[in-house]
Structure 1
Amino acid sequence: MPSSTSSSDPGSAPKGIVEREGALPAGLRLTASDRPGQAQPVPTRDVPAQPWGRIALGVLAALVVGGIALEVNARERIGLHAGDLDNSEISWSNEKIRAAGAPVAIVGDSRILFDTDLDRFEALTGVRPIQLAIHGTSALTLLEDMADDKDFNGLLIVGLADTMFFQPFDGYGGYVKKWHEFRAPYRVVSNEIDHMLQRHLAFLDSNYRLSVLAHRLDDDFRPGVEGPKDDIWKLQEVGEHRATYLWDRVEYDPAWRARTRWAWKGFKDPFPYTPDLIAKGHARAKAAVDKIRTRGGDVIFVRPPSAPELRVNEEAQVPKAKGWDVILRNTESAGIHIDDLPGAKDLPLPEFSHLGRKCATVFTDIYVRKLTELTPRLQLRADAPPPLTKDYCVPTT
């Protein structure tokens, strides 16, 4: 029976309406009443003719211009550089895998991370160490992780900041205890794509994502709660295989340098370093070193520099005689302390805790030469470059 609102008889259809969908005059909509027997289909409308090619070119041009503007802003105004790679848990896990069977690996906090020039290390010894140090992390946590790695039997260089080594928590690098969770294929592929783009584009720096910048617009949270001002903002640049350096803006921008110094809060930790806490740290360190040596590896400790403004508080909480000296004695390990390196003691630390990039090369040159005297696992190459001095990184007046 014909519908009361429309008819299957072409002769009864409204003028200009035909039965076959898609054959409507341009711009005329076909509704449900024109299609009897169908369960309320979505009305359709013809797509009007448009200059789609020119529209696509316009969108592409806008994207290119916008991308160029972002890149120019990132490089010229912010001081970012292409090739600065995000240092994620996945990046660390990549190096963890490479550490299996490696002759030398480095663990510790951000000081040994920032202050070791992997290129200089390799130029001096012919060996490129695996960089496993993590900022804001106890070197003890990473030492224990390597002790549990049955595939590592090389030389482990443990860089430490006295207070951070004995702190009662892991720090940012607590993820090392579950690093296999970051090996999902989609995570690894995503990380590789991210790095591929960052090798060419500076504005992709994760420290300058919109969500991060929006968070920093808040002056502070409620009193007594740490907010954006207490965060450590961009501080580092990361190259291939986690080769890490202090961001050069920290050196040349007084305002950025000042806020970074303020964020350290003088290394005045809010919890007490009791004799019991320090003793537990020593026991854990000895157990870890013994594990590594049992399977043929070895451990050497390195204490990078910190400025007097921080060192005074570090020494007050964990004196060298109760921390560093006991570590070496209990573990029967060799060690290189900044106090024992006259050529590196007066290197400038822009924000009190880390060396600038060129001075990190000087420190690396000095402490690696010392390493070759302390262990037969490393030897100075016959064609090693000549020694560096402070003049390499400090302008002469």
Structure 2
Amino acid sequence: MRSSTSSFDIYLTRRAPPRGRWLLPISAAFVLFLALVGWMEWELARRGFRPTVVDSPELWSRERDRASALGSHAIVLIGASRAQLDLDLAILARDSGLQPVQLAIDGSSFLPVLSDLAADDSVTGTVLVDYQDANLVWRDHEFTALGYINFWRERMRHPQAIGFAASESLLATLRQRFLRTYADGAGPMLAVSRRLLTAHATPQYLQTLPGRERIADYSLVPMPDFYYLRVMRDAGIEDMSPAPDARAFEASLKQRVETLPEAPAAAFNDNVRIVASAVARIEARGGHVIFVAFPRSGLVLRADEVRFPRKRFWSPFVQQVGGKSLRFDEIPALAAFRCPDGSHLDAKDREPFTHALAETLATRGWIGQGRPPVRNEP
């Protein structure tokens, strides 16, 4: 008597594959899929959406590798969102003759990244720091930067262990780079529900490029509300009383800004010594460190002036760290720029500001000027 297993095996071997014209329906499905993708991309483009990558530790790690590989040919940008939004990397490369490496991290402190670069003897280029007094007073904005650094170090120690994750991240970056459907980390379903089937989709004012630089179009955001929220966020104002109109609200906000307490300086000197040590280590092996206080405007600037008086913070910092430091408001060509949200430059100002900054740095002899840009090395 045959077992059920052997009968089943015979059934499998004798069963003929289903017949039919499969090529036509498969081809039709593929064509419909491409048509749907094309329509989505066209409609999203018509609505003003652009491909934009999502910043991530993996993307940052690739740039961190370049900071070491390029050596003296690199100009490494560290700090927060101003270094990402205010600078045009192509212009900076052309004007300086150096290869820009974007290591700034939105909403983070420059201190952990500067310390990491100082500990890496292969970093011998120019480090341009987006300086903010708050980074030397409070250390609570370092967690994101430390997470990025730890990811990069783990990647260096165990490249095989995270190889799959790195491949997935690369594929995701390619999708985001070329397809509007995946802009800002969205996907097809979210793009359809939130952007295509909505009469008034939220405008995409911010775009992140593959090199981690960012572009902001402030004509797409609701002003002055966007500006007021930025002032409150940067100044640490958590609540405001309602006002009958924008003018009254701004007057009330200005009063709050003028009464802000001066920032505590207890940890400032200790942190300045950490910075000075990092600068000395980089410059001892032939590198350069430049600190730049980027443009601010309106009540964002005023809040910084109230909380961080120059004579108690910036001036002692420059004196103790030495080296190369400049403030935007000390240079007429840089002070002429205005920030729509009080804290960052608009997309239309990135190119002229980068030109002005590069010219200022070159005039002081801190970077070269007029040399052809160095080729990007793997």
TM-score range, shorter chain: 0.7 to 0.9
Runs of 4+ in 1 over 6 A off after TM superposition: 39-48, 210-214
Match of 2:149 among 177, 180, 185: 177
Letter in 2 for 1:375: G
Tell me the secondary structure at the aligned position of residue 56 of structure 1: helix
Paired position in structure 2 for 1:323:
313
2:53 to 82, 85, 104: 85
Tell me: higher relative CO, structure 1 or 2? Use CA pairs within 8 A at least 6 residues apart.
2
Residue 144, structure 1, aligned to residue 134, structure 2: no
What do the CA deviations read for 1:261-288 (whole angstroms, capped 9, x no partner)? 5256341237984221323322221222
Residues in 2 aligned to 1:60 and 1:176: alpha-carbon distance in whole angstroms: 40
Q: TM-score, normalised by structure 1?
A: 0.72
Q: Which residue of 1 aligns with 2:247?
A: none
Deviations 1:305-355 (A, max 9, x none): 112221122222222222222221111122121111212223232222211
2:250 is aligned to none
Q: Unaligned regions of 5+ residues in structure 2, if any?
A: 195-202, 239-260, 374-378
Structure 1 residue corresponding to 2:332, chosen from 321, 328, 342:
342
1:219-230 superposed matches below 5 A: none
When residues 107 and 383 of structure 1 are mapped into structure 2, their CA distance, relative to the original with a 3 A threshold, is closer
Contact 1:99 1:152 in 2 (8 A): yes
Write the distance in 2 (CA, Å) between the matches of 1:350 and 1:40: 78
SS at match of 1:352: coil
Following superposition, the deviation at residue 371 of structure 1 comes to 0.9
The answer to which of 357-366 and 178-187 deviates more is: 178-187
Residue 383 of structure 1: how far off its partner (Å): 9.1
Residue 123 of structure 1 deviates from its aligned partner by 2.0
Aligned residue among 370, 380, 393 for 2:360: 370
The offset of 1:194, in angstroms, is 2.9
**Residue 49 of structure 1: how far off its partner (Å):** 5.5
Helix, strand or coil at the partner of 1:195: helix
Quote how far apart the aligned CAs of 1:51 are. Answer: 4.6
C-alpha offsets along residues 188-222 of structure 1, whole Å, 9 cap, x if unaligned? 323333333344322222343479889x9xxxxxx
Quote the residue 1:355 is aligned against: 345
Q: What does 1:229-308 align with in structure 2 at a 5 Å threshold?
A: 236-242=206-212, 244-248=213-217, 251-255=218-222, 258-259=225-226, 262=229, 265-269=232-236, 273-308=263-298
Q: Match for 1:136: what amino acid? A: G
Equivalent runs, 1:35-114 vs 2, <5 Å: 37-38=4-5, 51-77=21-47, 79-82=48-51, 84-100=52-68, 101-103=71-73, 104-114=75-85
- 1:30 alignment counterpart: none
- The superposition leaves residues 103-158 of structure 1 with CA deviations (integer Å, 9 ceiling, x where unpaired) of 32121111012111121122222222222111111012221121111111222111
* Structure 1: stretches of 5+ with no match in the other structure: 2-34, 217-232, 385-397
- Hey, what's the Cα distance between the residues in 2 that align with 1:76 and 1:262? 29
What whole-Å deviation, never above 9, does each CA across 1:205-252 have from its counterpart, x for those lacking one? 2343479889x9xxxxxxxxxxxxxxxx9653233433x13233xx22
Residues 97 and 147 (structure 1), Cα distance of their counterparts in 2 relative to 1, 3 Å cut: same
Alpha-carbon separation, structure 2, partners of 1:67 and 1:166 = 49
CA displacement, residues 28-77 of structure 1 (integer Å, 9 cap, x when unaligned): xxxxxxx8644998999998755533331332133112212321232222
Confirm or deny: 8 A CA contact 2:97 2:371 kept in the other structure. no
Correspondent of 1:189 among 167, 177, 194 = 167
Describe the shift of the 1:114–1:323 C-alpha distance in structure 2 as closer, same or farther (beyond 3 A): same
Tell me the percent identity: 21
Contact 2:49–2:204 (CA under 8 A) maintained in structure 1 = no
Q: Contact 1:138–1:167 at 8 Å: present in 2 too? A: no
Residue aligning to 1:200: 178
Indicate the residue corresponding to 2:369 in structure 1: 380
Structure richer in helix, relative to its length = 2
The aligned amino acid for 2:115 is E
Once the two structures are TM-superposed, the CA of residue 99 in structure 1 deviates from its matched residue by 1.0
Shift in alpha-carbon separation, 1:211–1:264, aligned structure 2, 3 A: farther
Q: CA RMSD in A?
A: 3.5
Shift of 1:256: 8.0
* Secondary structure of residue in 1 paired with 2:339: coil
State how far apart, in whole Å, the 1-side matches of 2:78 and 2:331 are: 20
In 2: Cα distance, 1:163 partner to 1:211 partner: 40
Q: CA deviation at 1:174?
A: 2.3
Query: Any conservation in 2 of the 1:138–1:166 contact (CA below 8 Å)?
Result: no
- Give the letter aligned to residue 154 of structure 2: E
Alpha-carbon distance change, 355 to 66 in structure 1, aligned in 2, over 3 angstroms: same
Do 1:334 and 1:374's aligned partners in 2 also have CA atoms closer than 8 Å? no
Letter in 2 for 1:330: Q
- Looking at structure 1, the residues matched to 178 and 16 of structure 2 have their Cα atoms a distance apart, in angstroms, of 43
Matched, 1:155 2:126: yes
